[in-house]
């Protein structure tokens, strides 16, 4: 395959708003190029994490190499890099883009341009990529490709008249996409004879092969035996294997050369030696300067992650270390909670990112986790003139030492069809949003701009937005900065004991409401004991809400009809099983679920 | 050496299904009564191999309403059991305790005399409540007066060992109304009384009406509190009348404890015949199918679940079943059975529950205190390994 020249390589990604059919198109491309027969195709080949299939979203960028014989009779190598669509995963998109020359922009023929279409498009333009629009879902009754083409031209400023009109789902017009990729997306530049210069755009940990580095070669070549150097970390290693990506598998090859996308495994045992964004070069013949890498992304949402079983703390640490390798935006540091023992305070890009990491830890690493309420980074200006950043409510200084506090706010842009403007404005107001303006994109759609406190959107803002607009609103945000706010720390006392893992920081105006809801929720979650358990919400020493879990008076098994012991035993086993998932706080057993219940306080709204 | 065996025979028929019942029982469709009796006898005959090692000590025919059958059928079933388990070396077959569950309204003098002749020496006549309104609510087919008649008839026919079932904890029941039921039952001095708290099981008509989610918190609290008071009152009244509580829900006059019941708690061997019947033989638990079609098609070998117990499971069962009885766990027997000191196995549970007075340890026994009985599920759950 290396006999295919650089001019016949196309490195591209597919970008789209969530749900516009990016992964489906990727599947079709793979299918059409004959890498897989139809029988071998699983639905959505590239979403190979169980979690991705279940949720129907792409979380991790995936890469696949395919061979396409174009109508001109020549063979081309396509390196397709699938990218995530959700706002939380922009950094993943950015990584993938750096490895490509072009991007296929998928736009839904009915919905047109959405927030993420724009955001991803701008990212691609930032990376100097050739953008090739494709109009998908043309077989939908509500499809209006003409309008969408005009929209692309007007809003993004891209030539879109000859954009392929396709249905990825039903395989309509996919060849046209492939031909345009050959025609429009430039071949990679770069010189195989120059010193090795490759960008690490992803890496994973494999228990047999160790660290597997995904890279894009810009110059030079690499093969088995090459001594490589990671320019930022300084790690050196000998290459064990190089290869390209099949669908969900690794295909070893002799050599990777300039313009190619592939993987390298080396005698790298230490996970920390490889960092996504770093440049790989030849240790014997290093390149002059490293590639720019990516903008480092800062976590916006923090929460505590604790192993349900305290003994699993080292396992959790290992799992986080390995996940971080594959997800540079994940940050963590050790912390201790009186209620939950040893765990980690972890930083995420957003709430979805948090959920995904939590689920991946649980599924891929078989860990049972307890998550504390997510929070943001607050700046605390103390009376002594110093400023501290607080990510864990337990670390908030005593109120007497606090002069004032600042919270992060975001510039939010919400695209919504006109009929839901009222509902969305109401939602933003409830979340302490400051109205900044509104623009009509066209007759039926408007762009609302708000400044919103980040801690108001990390819980369930996205869900509320979707439900109040029947799915029509889309949302994007950028961190604006910090803003002074009246914030208080709300503590929860169970049976008169403060439970640190349940404390959180909240705006003074919503403290009563939150406190009341917390108590109600906890009342439902905490099982009855032999004694009465008061649940209180307090600000400092002032109790603002209270509920009581009544004592158990009676809990008896009925008759064992005809000696059916098994049934009774199962009931007791269930009761026992429930107990295992409890945390002992003082003499109260609290189910782990209760710690998470604070995440979903707005359920009943 | 023959081992003792208890036999349970399930009759899955009733005149009308009660509103709280979630057991395998329904009014018979035409032809089902005969087909089932034939299937039962076939299953019994095909179980003859057990006769080589076991000697039947107790028999319990339960349901459903076994007394729904014509007494000739009952005699036929018992004869089959007898001929299957009798052998020349052992001579005749006389179980110590042979109980039939009966419903008031399905008994008459001839039936009872036939029972007596067939060796049945214990009856269980369900009263459930002495309040006709409550009986109606429960969906029972009889009145208090029907029960009185049945009791008188049974005594007349010479039955001197009778159990009666009573249900407590009905929604709207008060300590006063339940005490009335108890006292009305006591007029006929049954030798044995079982008092069960109503469990509202999913899938029953009661669940629709009284499922905990449909009641307000206040209603639930009141119901629960009344239920507990009723429970405590029951114990007090019955002990005044000379009944001893020997198990969570079973009370008996001295010497009249149900031997069959005790086999369950003491993990003796028992064999169940009929649909859904559970068995426990040599450490293996199994149960027959719940389906009438499956059972009658292949009565022997319609086992739907089979479970060989691990050592941990054996210890757990032995502990939680014994805790149902007033005698409790015998530490010595536990050591004999498993070669382990119970305190080593259940250190935390024993410390926790004796520490708060829910369990009592005395004379080599560990048993529930009266308060402990009220919450025994919580205690037992800690004895599951």
- Angle of helix A351-364 relative to helix A313-326, nearest 10 degrees, comes to 120
Chain centre to alpha carbon of residue B381: 21
Instruction: Convert the pLDDT of each residue in B232-278 to its tens digit.
Output: 899 999 999 999 999 988 999 999 999 999 999 999 999 999 999 99
Indicate the pLDDT class of residue A221, thresholds 50, 70 and 90.
Answer: very high
Residue with tokens 């108590």: A519
> What's the Cα-to-Cα distance from A120 to each of A114, A124, A458, B211, rounded to whole Å?
10, 6, 21, 52
Task: Answer yes or no: do B138 and B14 share one domain.
Answer: yes
pLDDT of residue B350: 95
Q: Does the pLDDT at position A397 exceed 60?
A: yes
Provide, rounded to the nearest whole percent, the portion of chain A with pLDDT above 90: 29
Residue with tokens 């079943």: B321
Q: Does the pLDDT at position A381 exceed 70?
A: yes
Long-range contacts of B186-191 (CB under 8 A, 24+ apart): B186/B241, B188/B148, B188/B151, B188/B152, B188/B155, B188/B164, B190/B125, B190/B151, B190/B162, B190/B163, B190/B164, B191/B160, B191/B161, B191/B162, B191/B163, B191/B252, B191/B253, B191/B256
| A558 touching B (Cβ < 8 Å) | yes
| A584 touching B (Cβ < 8 Å) | no
pLDDT of residue A62: 65
Instruction: Convert the pLDDT of each residue in B196-209 to its tens digit.
Output: 888 777 788 888 77
In a 13 Å sphere around the CA of A543, the CA atoms on its Cβ side amount to: 12
Residue where a domain terminates, one of B264, B296, B330: B264
The mean pLDDT of A274-296, rounded to a whole number, is 80
CA–CA gap between residue B51 and residue B100 (Å, rounded):
22
pLDDT of residue A247: 61
Q: Does the pLDDT at position A455 exceed 90?
A: no
Instruction: Convert the pLDDT of each residue in A59-85 to its tens digit.
Output: 444 678 888 888 888 888 888 876 655
Residue where a domain terminates, one of B231, B264, B297: B264
pLDDT of residue A212: 84
Q: Give the residue among A394, A393, A441, A397 at the shortest CA–CA distance from A417.
A: A441
Residue where a domain terminates, one of B264, B293, B320: B264
In a domain, B276, yes or no: no
Task: Answer yes or no: do B45 and B170 share one domain.
Answer: yes
Phi, psi of A278 (to 5 degrees): -75, 165
Q: Give the residue among A502, A507, A504, A544 at the shortest CA–CA distance from A525.
A: A502
Q: Give the residue among B189, B191, B193 at the shortest CA–CA distance from B256.
A: B191
Provide, rounded to the nearest whole percent, the portion of chain B with pLDDT above 70: 98
Q: Does the pLDDT at position A47 exceed 60?
A: no
pLDDT of residue A147: 92
Asked whether the beta carbons of A106 and A134 are under 8 A apart, the reply is yes
Indicate the pLDDT class of residue A39, thresholds 50, 70 and 90.
Answer: very low
Task: Answer yes or no: do B329 and B250 share one domain.
Answer: no
Distance from CA of A376 to the nearest CA of B (A): 37
- Whether A561 sits inside 8 A of B62 (CB atoms) is yes
pLDDT of residue A44: 42
Distance from CA of B88 to the nearest CA of A (A): 30
Q: Give the residue among A300, A323, A361, A373 at the shortest CA–CA distance from A537.
A: A373
In a domain, B277, yes or no: no
The closest CB to that of B196, out of A558, A571, A579, belongs to: A558
| A478 touching B (Cβ < 8 Å) | no
Strands A62-69 and A75-82: antiparallel
- Whether A571 sits inside 8 A of B264 (CB atoms) is no
DSSP, res A190? -
Which residues on chain B are in Cβ contact (under 8 Å) with A554? Answer: 197, 224, 227-228, 231, 374-375
Q: Does the pLDDT at position A339 exceed 70?
A: yes
Task: Answer yes or no: do B49 and B158 share one domain.
Answer: yes
| B199 touching A (Cβ < 8 Å) | yes
B31 vs A339, higher pLDDT: B31
> What's the Cα-to-Cα distance from A189 to each of A232, A431, A511, rounded to whole Å?
24, 49, 58
Instruction: Convert the pLDDT of each residue in A3-27 to its tens digit.
Output: 468 888 999 988 888 778 887 888 8
The mean pLDDT of A498-527, rounded to a whole number, is 88
| A571 touching B (Cβ < 8 Å) | yes
pLDDT of residue A128: 87
Task: Answer yes or no: do B178 and B38 share one domain.
Answer: yes
Provide, rounded to the nearest whole percent, the portion of chain A with pLDDT above 70: 87
Tokens coding A375: 């929070």
Kindly write down the DSSP assignment for every residue of B336-359, as one continuous string. Answer: HHHSS-HHHHSHHHHHHHHHTTSE
Indicate the pLDDT class of residue A342, thresholds 50, 70 and 90.
Answer: very high
- Number of domains composing chain B: 2
pLDDT of residue A605: 41
Task: Answer yes or no: do B77 and B162 share one domain.
Answer: yes
Task: Answer yes or no: do B149 and B15 share one domain.
Answer: yes
Which residues on chain B are in Cβ contact (under 8 Å) with A553? Answer: 224-225, 228, 374-375
Indicate the pLDDT class of residue A34, thresholds 50, 70 and 90.
Answer: low
CA–CA gap between residue B77 and residue B157 (Å, rounded):
21
Q: State the first-to-last Cα distance of chain A, in angstroms, to the nearest integer.
A: 59
The closest CB to that of B197, out of A530, A558, A573, belongs to: A558
Burial A129-147 (b: 16+ CB within 10 A, else e): bebbbbbbbbeeeebbbee
CA–CA gap between residue A310 and residue B348 (Å, rounded):
19
| B231 touching A (Cβ < 8 Å) | yes
Distance from CA of B89 to the nearest CA of A (A): 30
Indicate the pLDDT class of residue A576, thresholds 50, 70 and 90.
Answer: confident
Helix or strand or coil: residue A380? strand
Least confident of A269-273, A307-311, B122-126, B327-331: A269-273
Alpha-carbon dihedral of residues A324, A330, A334, A337, nearest 10 degrees? -130
pTM higher than the cut 0.80: no
- Whether A569 sits inside 8 A of B277 (CB atoms) is no
In a domain, B379, yes or no: yes
Burial class (CB in 10 A: 0-12, 13-18, 19+), B13: buried
- Whether B224 sits inside 8 A of A558 (CB atoms) is no
Q: Does the pLDDT at position A296 exceed 70?
A: no
Kindly write down the DSSP assignment for every residue of A298-348, as one continuous string. Answer: PP-EEEEEEESSGGGHHHHHHHHHHHHHH-TT-EEEEEEETTTEEEEEEEE
pLDDT of residue B152: 95
The mean predicted confidence, pLDDT, of chain A is 82
Tally of CB atoms within 10 A around B366: 25
Residue with tokens 């499922």: B211
CA–CA gap between residue A220 and residue A259 (Å, rounded):
9
CA–CA gap between residue B130 and residue B135 (Å, rounded):
8
In a domain, B80, yes or no: yes
Q: Does the pLDDT at position A526 exceed 80?
A: yes
Tokens coding A190: 């770069």
Task: Answer yes or no: do B65 and B183 share one domain.
Answer: yes
pLDDT of residue B264: 92
In a domain, B286, yes or no: no
Q: What is the CATH number of the domain that holds B181?
A: 3.80.30.20
Task: Answer yes or no: do B259 and B360 share one domain.
Answer: no
Task: Answer yes or no: do B241 and B322 share one domain.
Answer: no
| A560 touching B (Cβ < 8 Å) | yes
Task: Tell me the residue range of the domain where B21 lies.
Answer: 3-264
Burial B54-73 (b: 16+ CB within 10 A, else e): bbbbbbbbbbbbbbbbebeb
CA–CA gap between residue B173 and residue B226 (Å, rounded):
8
Q: What is the CATH number of the domain that holds B360?
A: 1.10.10.920
Task: Answer yes or no: do B257 and B317 share one domain.
Answer: no
A250 vs B175, higher pLDDT: B175
pLDDT of residue A414: 87
In a domain, B294, yes or no: no
Q: Give the residue among A300, A386, A372 at the shortest CA–CA distance from A343.
A: A372
Indicate the pLDDT class of residue B126, thresholds 50, 70 and 90.
Answer: very high
Indicate the pLDDT class of residue A57, thresholds 50, 70 and 90.
Answer: very low
CA–CA gap between residue A497 and residue A526 (Å, rounded):
14
The closest CB to that of B10, out of A530, A562, A571, belongs to: A562
In a domain, B224, yes or no: yes
In a domain, B304, yes or no: no
Task: Answer yes or no: do B156 and B234 share one domain.
Answer: yes
Q: Does the pLDDT at position A580 exceed 80?
A: no
Q: Give the residue among A264, A247, A277, A326 at the shortest CA–CA distance from A65.
A: A247
| Predicted ipTM of the assembly | 0.84
Least confident of A175-189, A403-417, B86-100: B86-100
Window B:129-168, CB contacts with A under 8 Å? none
CA–CA gap between residue B50 and residue B84 (Å, rounded):
9
Indicate the pLDDT class of residue A602, thresholds 50, 70 and 90.
Answer: low
CA–CA gap between residue B289 and residue B276 (Å, rounded):
5
Which residue is closest to B168 within chain A, CA to CA? A558
Asked whether the beta carbons of A59 and A52 are under 8 A apart, the reply is yes
Q: Give the residue among A457, A471, A387 at the shortest CA–CA distance from A423.
A: A471
């Amino acid at each position: 395959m290396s006999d295919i020249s650089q001019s016949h390589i196309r490195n591209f990604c597919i970008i789209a708003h969530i749900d516009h059919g990016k992964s489906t198109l990727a599947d079709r491309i793979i299918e059409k190029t004959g890498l897989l027969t139809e029988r071998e195709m699983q639905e959505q080949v590239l979403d190979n994490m169980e979690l991705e299939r279940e949720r129907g979203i792409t979380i991790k960028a995936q890469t696949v190499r395919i061979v396409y014989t174009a109508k001109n009779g020549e063979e081309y190598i396509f390196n397709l890099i699938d990218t995530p669509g959700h706002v939380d995963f922009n950094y993943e998109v950015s990584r993938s883009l750096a490895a490509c020359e072009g991007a296929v922009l998928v736009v839904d023929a009915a919905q047109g341009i959405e927030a993420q279409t724009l955001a991803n498009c701008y990212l691609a333009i930032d990376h100097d990529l050739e953008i090739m629009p494709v109009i998908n879902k043309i077989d939908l009754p509500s499809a209006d490709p003409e309008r969408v083409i005009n929209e692309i031209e007007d809003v993004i400023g891209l030539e879109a008249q000859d954009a392929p009109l396709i249905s990825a789902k039903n395989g309509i017009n996919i060849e046209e996409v492939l031909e345009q990729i050959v025609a429009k997306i430039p071949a990679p530049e770069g010189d195989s004879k120059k010193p090795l210069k490759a960008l690490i755009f992803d890496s994973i940990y494999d228990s047999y092969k160790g660290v597997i580095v995904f890279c894009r070669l810009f110059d030079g070549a690499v093969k088995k035996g090459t001594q490589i150097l990671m320019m930022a970390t300084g790690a050196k290693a000998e290459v064990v294997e190089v290869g390209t990506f099949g669908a969900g598998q690794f295909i070893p090859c002799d050599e990777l050369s300039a313009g190619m996308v592939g993987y390298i495994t080396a005698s790298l045992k230490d996970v920390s030696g490889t960092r996504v964004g770093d440049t790989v070069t030849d240790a014997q013949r290093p390149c002059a300067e490293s590639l720019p890498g990516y903008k480092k992304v800062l976590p916006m949402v923090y929460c505590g992650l604790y192993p349900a079983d305290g003994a699993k703390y080292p396992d959790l640490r290992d799992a986080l270390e390995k996940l971080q390798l594959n997800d540079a935006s994940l940050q963590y540091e050790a912390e201790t909670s009186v209620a939950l023992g040893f765990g980690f305070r972890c930083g995420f890009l957003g709430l979805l990112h948090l959920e995904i990491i939590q689920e991946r830890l649980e599924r891929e690493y078989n860990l049972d986790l307890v998550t504390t309420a997510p929070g943001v980074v607050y700046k605390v200006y103390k009376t002594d003139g110093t400023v501290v950043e607080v990510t864990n409510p337990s670390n908030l200084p005593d109120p007497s030492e606090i002069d004032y506090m600042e919270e992060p706010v975001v510039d939010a842009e919400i695209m919504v069809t006109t009929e839901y403007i009222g509902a969305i404005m109401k939602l933003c107001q409830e979340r302490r949003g400051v109205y900044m303006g509104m623009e009509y994109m066209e007759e039926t759609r408007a762009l609302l701009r708000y400044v919103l406190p980040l801690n108001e959107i990390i819980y369930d803002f996205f869900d509320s937005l979707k439900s109040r607009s029947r799915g029509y609103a889309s949302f994007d945000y950028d961190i604006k900065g910090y803003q002074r706010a009246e914030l208080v720390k709300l503590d929860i006392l169970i049976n008169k004991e403060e439970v640190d893992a349940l404390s959180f920081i909240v705006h003074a105006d919503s403290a009563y409401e939150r406190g009341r809801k917390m108590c109600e929720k906890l009342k439902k979650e905490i099982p009855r004991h032999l004694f009465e358990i008061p649940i209180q919400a307090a600000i400092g020493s002032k109790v603002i809400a209270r509920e009581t879990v009544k004592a158990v008076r009676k809990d008896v098994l009925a008759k064992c009809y005809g000696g059916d012991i098994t049934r009774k035993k199962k009931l007791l086993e269930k009761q026992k099983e429930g107990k295992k998932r409890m945390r002992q706080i003082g003499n109260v057993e609290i189910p782990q679920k209760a710690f998470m219940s604070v995440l979903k306080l707005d359920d009943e709204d | 050496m023959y081992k003792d065996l208890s036999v349970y025979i399930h009759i899955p028929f009733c005149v009308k299904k009660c509103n709280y019942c979630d057991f395998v029982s329904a009014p018979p469709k035409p032809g089902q009564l005969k087909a089932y009796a034939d299937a039962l006898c076939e299953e019994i005959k095909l179980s003859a191999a057990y006769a080589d090692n076991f000697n039947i000590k107790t028999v319990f025919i339960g349901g459903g309403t076994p007394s729904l059958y014509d007494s000739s059928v009952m005699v036929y079933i018992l004869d089959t059991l007898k001929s299957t388990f009798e052998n020349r070396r052992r001579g005749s077959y006389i179980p110590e305790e042979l109980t039939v569950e009966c419903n008031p309204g399905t008994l008459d003098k001839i039936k009872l005399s036939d029972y007596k002749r067939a060796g049945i020496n214990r009856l269980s006549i369900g009263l459930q409540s002495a309040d006709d309104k409550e009986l109606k609510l429960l969906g029972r087919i009889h009145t208090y007066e029907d029960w009185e008649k049945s009791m008188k008839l049974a005594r007349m026919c010479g039955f001197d060992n009778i159990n009666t079932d009573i249900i407590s904890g009905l929604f709207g029941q008060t300590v006063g109304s339940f005490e009335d039921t108890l006292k009305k039952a006591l007029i006929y001095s049954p030798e044995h009384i079982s008092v069960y708290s109503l469990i509202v099981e999913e899938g029953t008509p009661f669940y629709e009406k009284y499922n905990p989610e449909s009641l307000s918190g206040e209603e639930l609290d009141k119901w629960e509190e009344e239920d507990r008071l009723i429970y405590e009152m029951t114990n007090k009244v019955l002990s005044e009348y000379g009944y001893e509580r020997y198990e969570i829900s079973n009370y008996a006059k001295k010497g009249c404890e149900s031997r069959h019941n005790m086999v369950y708690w003491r993990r003796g061997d028992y064999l169940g015949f009929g649909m859904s019947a559970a068995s426990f033989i040599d450490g293996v638990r199994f149960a027959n199918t719940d389906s009438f079609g499956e059972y009658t098609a292949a009565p022997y070998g319609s086992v739907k679940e089979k479970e060989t117990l691990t050592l941990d499971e054996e210890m757990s069962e032995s502990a939680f079943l014994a805790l149902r009885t007033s005698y409790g766990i015998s530490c010595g027997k536990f050591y004999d059975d498993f070669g382990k000191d119970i305190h080593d196995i259940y250190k935390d549970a024993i410390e926790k529950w004796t520490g708060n007075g829910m369990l009592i340890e005395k004379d080599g026994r560990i048993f529930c205190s009266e308060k402990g009985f009220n919450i025994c599920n919580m205690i037992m759950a800690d004895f599951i390994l």
